[in-house]
């Protein structure tokens, strides 16, 4: 199974788009996204220095545009990609790249939202002297305890060997003076404490904007940074992306879900290297591919063909008539009630739960609907993204944003 992932802020380096600009299709699309975002993305991706592209308001739109346009170079016919990609995910701002890539948002919606996200996070960062520090090594439990002891937040949990602490600069200084045993601390060159309570003003701004955005359900499995679960409702994907600005990134749980799914190959969109590096430490036996220039596209296409699993991807492809309720994770599915065909479910109905050793995850029907067919039996073992129930949308809610495609 193939996983396609998009990196977050900090992955950008000066000039990383130079080789891509030579591709006329990439350059033309980048000019369009520059117009949409009101930023000269070609300049920032080719000529701007490290300090300039470190600016949150610049870095985030630059990363999302790079990932989306490189994906179009790799998959010139996007619909073909949905039967090859088993699961998609993005780290932090990379969630917007992934969401647009699997059809939840248009590229234009993603660029406007990421522009506002970057600006709002930059403004929130300016209000309080805060930053982030990577804690490498040490006992995981001791690391988390020491971070909490100093009043900091574990803003990124990137799996084995790396947690990022975030908070005020004085609290980070205290952590540096009293580090966890056998751990190495690396100060990150960021302007604020991302994915913490200090980003609350940005969340408020994005929440207001997001209410006007129409969404579509993902065309393949899409993982959430909040908990690593598969989210198959477009509106919920957007809500989670907004909330994630002030909530920790659980990339460790995203990788756990990839392992549950049996991912065999992980391809990272440019600027690649960060997430493939993490995967090498945490997803043993999974082959990785870091896509960083167009000369790699033939090899990347071969990598996709090698790991594509159309049998696993196809079941949640879009359908114009039905809405599918899918499993958010791996475990045993238990129905809440015996709901025969024809049962009318109101919005936000709970239809069951998926239980595993880590958690018990409720399964809901966000938009309600009429029960057409159960696709999993009570007590069945299920995998992340596996269809559980087929619903027909109710007439009173069937508009362009409510009908599953």
Positions marked catalytic: 92, 195
Residue 368: both structure tokens together:
């309600």
CA–CA distance, 283 with 268 (Å, rounded to integer): 14
Residue 175: both structure tokens together:
């952590």
CA–CA distance, 166 with 185 (Å, rounded to integer): 12
CA–CA distance, 65 with 70 (Å, rounded to integer): 8
Which of 3, 82, 5 has the alpha carbon at shortest distance from 286? Answer: 3
CA–CA distance, 45 with 271 (Å, rounded to integer): 10
Residue 238: both structure tokens together:
């957007």
Tokens 């084995």 belong to residue: 160
CA 283 and chain centroid, separation:
18
CA 95 and chain centroid, separation:
3
Tokens 């803003």 belong to residue: 155
Helix, strand, or coil (residue 157): strand
Name 75's Cβ contacts closer than 8 Å, sequence gap at least 6.
Answer: 81
The beta strand positions in 72-143, using DSSP E, are 87-90, 130-137
Length of the chain, in residues: 405
Which of 130, 123, 129 has the alpha carbon at shortest distance from 201? Answer: 123
Q: Is-contact 112 227, C-beta < 8 A?
A: no
Which of 302, 346, 342, 330 has the alpha carbon at shortest distance from 388? Answer: 330
Residue 282: both structure tokens together:
């945490």
Which of 221, 157, 314, 218 has the alpha carbon at shortest distance from 4? Answer: 221
CB burial readout 337-352, b (16+ within 10 A) else e: eebeeeeebeeebebb
């Amino acid at each position: 199974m193939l996983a396609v992932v998009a990196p977050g802020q900090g992955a950008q380096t000066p000039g990383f788009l130079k080789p891509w600009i030579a591709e006329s299709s990439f350059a033309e699309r980048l000019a369009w996204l520059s117009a949409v975002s009101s930023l000269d993305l070609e300049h920032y991706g080719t000529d701007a220095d490290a300090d300039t592209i470190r600016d949150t308001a610049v870095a985030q739109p630059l990363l999302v545009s790079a990932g989306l346009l490189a994906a179009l170079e790799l998959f010139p016919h996007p619909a073909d990609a949905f039967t090859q990609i088993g699961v998609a995910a993005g780290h932090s701002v990379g969630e917007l790249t992934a969401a647009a890539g699997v059809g939840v948002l248009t590229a234009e919606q993603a660029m406007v939202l990421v522009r506002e996200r970057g600006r709002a996070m930059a403004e929130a960062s300016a209000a309080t002297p805060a930053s982030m520090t990577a804690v490498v090594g040490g006992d995981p439990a001791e690391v988390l305890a020491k971070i909490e002891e100093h009043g900091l937040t574990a803003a990124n949990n990137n799996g084995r060997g790396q947690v990022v602490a975030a908070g005020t600069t004085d609290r980070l200084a205290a952590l540096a003076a009293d580090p966890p045993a056998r751990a190495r601390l690396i100060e990150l060159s960021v302007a604020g404490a991302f994915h913490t309570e200090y980003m609350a003003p940005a969340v408020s701004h994005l929440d207001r904007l997001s209410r006007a955005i129409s969404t579509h359900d993902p065309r393949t499995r899409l993982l959430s940074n909040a908990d690593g679960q598969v989210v198959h409702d477009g509106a919920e994907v957007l809500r989670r992306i907004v909330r994630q600005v002030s909530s920790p990134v659980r990339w460790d749980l995203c990788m756990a879900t990839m392992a549950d799914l049996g991912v065999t190959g992980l391809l990272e969109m440019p600027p690649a290297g960060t997430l493939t590096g993490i995967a090498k430490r945490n997803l043993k036996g999974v082959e990785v591919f870091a896509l960083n220039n167009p000369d790699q596209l033939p090899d990347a296409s071969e990598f996709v063909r090698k790991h594509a699993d159309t049998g696993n991807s196809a079941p949640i492809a879009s359908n114009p008539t039905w809405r599918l309720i899918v499993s958010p994770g791996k475990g045993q599915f238990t129905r809440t009630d015996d709901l025969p065909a024809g049962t009318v479910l109101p919005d936000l109905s709970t239809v069951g739960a998926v239980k595993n050793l880590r958690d018990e995850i409720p399964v809901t029907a966000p938009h309600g609907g009429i029960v057409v067919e159960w696709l999993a039996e009570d007590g069945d073992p299920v995998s992340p993204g596996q269809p559980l129930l087929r619903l027909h949308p109710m007439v009173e809610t069937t508009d362009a944003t409510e009908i599953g495609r």
